Amino acid sequence: MPKILFVASEAHPLIKTGGLGDVAGSLPAALQSLRADVRLLLPAYHDALARAGKLKTVARCAIENLSAPVRILEARLPGTGLIVWFVDYPPAYDRRGHPYLDAGGRPWPDNAMRYALFADVAVRIALGRANMKWRPDVVHCHDWQTGLVPAWLAMEKIRPATVFTIHNLAYQGLFPRETFEALGLPAALWSHEALEFHGWMSFIKGGLVYADRLTTVSPNYAREIRTPEFGCGLDGLLRHRAGRLTGILNGIDDKEWNPARDPFLEKGYSSRRLQDKLANKLALQREFGLPEQSGTPLIGMVGRLVHQKGIDLVLETLPGLMHRPIQLVLLGSGEAGYEEALRAQAARYAKRLAVRIGYDERLAHMIEAGADMFLMPSRFEPCGLNQLYSQRYGTIPIVRRVGGLADTVADATKARLKTGSATGIVFEEARASAMLAAIDRALVLQQKKPAWKRMMLAGMRQDYSWRHSATEYLRLYRQAMRDKRTPPRKPTVRG
Ligand code: ADP
Ligand code: GLC
């Protein structure tokens, strides 16, 4: 079985800002249960260490120009037996709160240094140069924060294979040329065939250009990012590498997200005890200060408040939406403008709209369980996890047909309603009117009780556990180990 070094900048339950945290917190354990030998590597953020329990120092390595040695700390990922290694260099990572942003919501000014150091240590471990015995066959990297790992490893004659997973192509880790120089990267990497991107240094290109294999988190997004509409300027490069790029759908942690045993719920329920979902709806209304009305359709939303998620569409729709006999509960944090606008609207429609700004795991679970419908009007969505959680919780997702949402939600067409295979409501255009029409369609369907219930049950029956996708990753790791032996590529396409 291959030995995998899983390198990520966040992992639930230690530190999480979004779906990457869910994936890095659950896929490694799923791989391990398929007998792979996995180590998860994370930066030693203050909050992550605080949640990690018992820690021991397993290695120290001196790195040129650093004032102190970097330590590798070891712990077990809570709830799993998985070994986690932390890259501990306090000047870079010993900060409270958000891993990427300061208290004012701006990226930490030294992020390039922080993630270059993280990548540097990953490379040392991968090459057996970190005073540790264990060496991986495959290094699996995630998103721009780890992009330098495949680039540096590609320069080595003897090295493990590399896999780079794109969770979100819109975040590229772009920094000015001076940063490239300050990091002391080899001059050969300053080229449009390497890390340069229109005069900037791009961390993500390190992964996209140099990894032996590329993946993204749904088959549909794997196709979309090869088009100008979704390629964020990198579609040319991704078309060039299309033969090495696959989409593997994310799984979910089905223990953590299980309505029958969810400690955050008012009352557990399952497809056999569906009536108990109602207690969670009332609890949610109570929690958010909305009138406790079992018969009023309740729509939930949880997510980062950014353009990607279509928050502007929701704001634009509100006047119309608030005329309908519904309630809307929203939990999220992100761009200050959206936060303020949502707060203001919640004050205006106090009986129908409740907004909680912040990050709250318990409320996220309560919303998945208590809402009747879950809204995701995303502009793009590499995979999306909330629509998967919704289905597991018998909460009907209303989603845009994009990215992983298109792969995982079966629209309630007449034909599907007949066969009982519909799992949600899907709309096409990123426009307020299209979203409103989809919500109206859901409201009409909800009146048809047997059809609605069948849809809830169809969603709850889906298997979104990691079993299938983790097996696909294992196959891919073997493939990457074979690919590595072929001579290095010379990319020729401008990114
Ligand atoms: P993305 O990774 O783009 O943010 P996903 O749907 O893949 O989107 O994953 C988002 C994850 O983060 C989900 O587990 C969701 O519940 C969680 N999440 C997002 N915002 C919040 C929040 N404000 N409070 C609690 N959980 C949140
Ligand atoms: C990203 C994407 C999201 C995906 C998650 C985990 O942040 O925005 O769609 O589900 O990563 O892969």
Over residues 7-17, the mean pLDDT reads 97
In this predicted structure, the answer to whether residue 421 has a pLDDT above a threshold of 80 is yes
Q: Which ligand is nearest to the CA of 300?
A: 1
Q: Which residues line ligand 1 (CB under 6 A)?
A: 18-20, 22, 302-304, 331-333, 359-361, 364, 383-386
Task: Look up residue 112 and give its amino acid.
Answer: A
Task: Give me the pLDDT at residue 194, please.
Answer: 98
CA of 483 to the centre of ligand 1 (A): 34
**Percent over 70 (pLDDT), the chain:** 98
Q: Which atom of ligand 2 sits closest to the CA of residue 404?
A: 9
In the prediction, which pLDDT does 164 show? 98
| 251 pLDDT above the threshold of 50 | yes
If one looks up domain 271-462 in CATH, what number appears? 3.40.50.2000
Judge if the beta carbon of residue 384 lies within 6 A of ligand 2.
Answer: yes
Ligand 2 pocket residue status of 303, Cβ below 6 Å? no
Q: Render pLDDT for 278-333 as a digit per residue (tens, 0 to 9).
A: 999 999 999 999 999 999 999 999 999 999 999 999 999 999 999 999 999 999 99
332 lines ligand 2 (CB under 6 A): no
- pTM given for the model: 0.96
The CA distance from 470 to 447, in Å, is 39
Confidence of residue 484 (pLDDT cuts 50, 70, 90): confident
pLDDT digits (tens, 9 = 90+) for 461-472: 999 999 999 999
CA-closest residue to ligand 1 atom 4: 18
Ligand 2 close to Cβ of residue 442 (< 6 A):
no
CATH superfamily of 3-251+467-483: Glycogen Phosphorylase B; (3.40.50.2000)
Ligand 1 atom closest to residue 332's alpha carbon, by position in its atom list: 23
pLDDT above 90 (res 493): no
Sheet holding 373-376, edge to edge: 353-357, 327-334, 298-305, 373-376, 396-400, 425-427
User: Would the pLDDT of 119 be above 50?
Assistant: yes
Ligand closest to Cα of 407 equals 2
Residues 138-157: what's their mean pLDDT? 97
Domain positions in the chain: 3-251+467-483, 271-462
Res 494: pLDDT: 46
Q: Is the fold of 3-251+467-483 the same as that of 271-462?
A: yes
C-alpha 209 to ligand 2 mean position (Å): 21
Ligand 2: atom nearest CA of 308 is 8
Average pLDDT over residues 15-30: 97
Q: What is the mean pLDDT of residues 355-379?
A: 98
Q: Which two tokens stand for residue 469?
A: 């996708």
Give the ligand whose atoms come closest to the C-alpha of residue 220: 2
250 lines ligand 2 (CB under 6 A): yes
Query: Considering only CA atoms, which residue is closest to atom 14 of ligand 1?
Result: 19
- Residues in contact with 188: Cβ distance below 8 Å, sequence separation at least 6, in sequence order: 194
Percent of the chain scoring above 90 in pLDDT? 96
Residue of the CA atom closest to atom 1 of ligand 2? 167
Mean pLDDT of the chain: 96
**Which pLDDT score, from 0 to 100, does residue 495 have?**
43
Which pLDDT tens digit goes with each residue over 319-338? 999 999 999 999 999 999 99
pLDDT in the model for residue 259 = 98
Q: Please report which confidence band the pLDDT of residue 31 belongs to, taking 50, 70 and 90 as the band edges.
A: very high
Nearest ligand to the CA of 403 is 2
Q: State the distance from the centre of ligand 1 to the C-alpha of 273, rounded, in angstroms.
A: 27
Average pLDDT over residues 140-157: 97
18 C-beta closer than 6 A to ligand 2: yes
Most informative mutation of 167, 302, 469 for ligand 2 (most atoms within 8 A of CB): 167
Task: Please indicate whether residue 225, judged by its CB atom, sits closer than 6 Å to ligand 2.
Answer: no
